[in-house]
Amino acid sequence: KSICALFQIPRLIQIEISFKLKGIALQTIHAHELPDCYAFQNTIIFNNRAHSGKIKIFFDSDTDIQECKDWHIFNSVLQKNTQYILVFDGFVILSCLASLVLCTRSIVLAWRLQKRFVNFFLEKYQRPVCYADRLEFLNGWYVLVIISDVMTIIGSILKMEIKAKNLTSYDVCSILLGTSTLFVWVGVIRYLGYFQTYNVLILTMQASLPKVLRFCCCAGMIYLGYTFCGWIVLGPYHEK
């Protein structure tokens, strides 16, 4: 009502309101630890450029985390827990580095073996090896583990920086750690191949994967068209 009283809605184009908020993490006070001070830079934008009868509202917030400068008590319980978490993150990074080195070494050895196999075929049978046969030397599970290890290492480093109050990029950290966790659990499937019953299922999945991907490409066109149709028809009436 106050905005309507100050501005005439038919003539209103855009209003931008910026303000700062400060907060303190009170959860750490009972542990006699220096609390964290939060500074929020908020911006609210009322956009009426379309003159569609409905003003769009956008909200943006940036957070800056710093330690308060009032008092500090050493050897608090929360500090010890934070140190334990940092030590665990360091152990995770070292484990992922070891896994990354071993998987990379296996891929390099497989690539060298593939080159020796191609040269042997050329010298022995005077025939080139097709691309599909060359890919048999590349273990897709190792590639998945390498991608997962890289994402885990980067995500753990970001997590340690966030704990140290040097970064606030929670979204990037969560995406990296979440995706790497997904890849890790997918990689567990390879160990089921050591059992005869599960190995039949895995071989069936591998044989049917190309056909399933072709079906997904064809069906994806229909789903994509349905998505754009809903976006165009229902988009003006819903914020999401």
* pTM score: 0.59
- Alpha-carbon distance of 159 to 169, in angstroms, equals 9
CA 178 to chain centre: 6
- Checking if the pLDDT of 101 tops 60, the result is yes
pLDDT digits (tens, 9 = 90+) for 65-75: 776 766 544 44
* Mean pLDDT, residues 198-221: 88
Give the tens place of pLDDT for each residue, 73-84: 444 444 566 778
Please report the pLDDT score of residue 28 as a whole number. Answer: 55
Q: What does the domain layout of the chain look like in residue ranges?
A: 9-66, 83-194, 198-231
Ranking 17-26, 59-68, 162-171, 210-219 by mean pLDDT, the lowest is 162-171
Provide the residue type at 77 as one letter. Answer: V
pLDDT the model gives residue 74: 45
- Which one-letter DSSP state was computed for residue 188? T
**SS3 of 18, please?**
strand
Query: Which of 51, 56, 57 has the alpha carbon at shortest distance from 9?
Result: 51
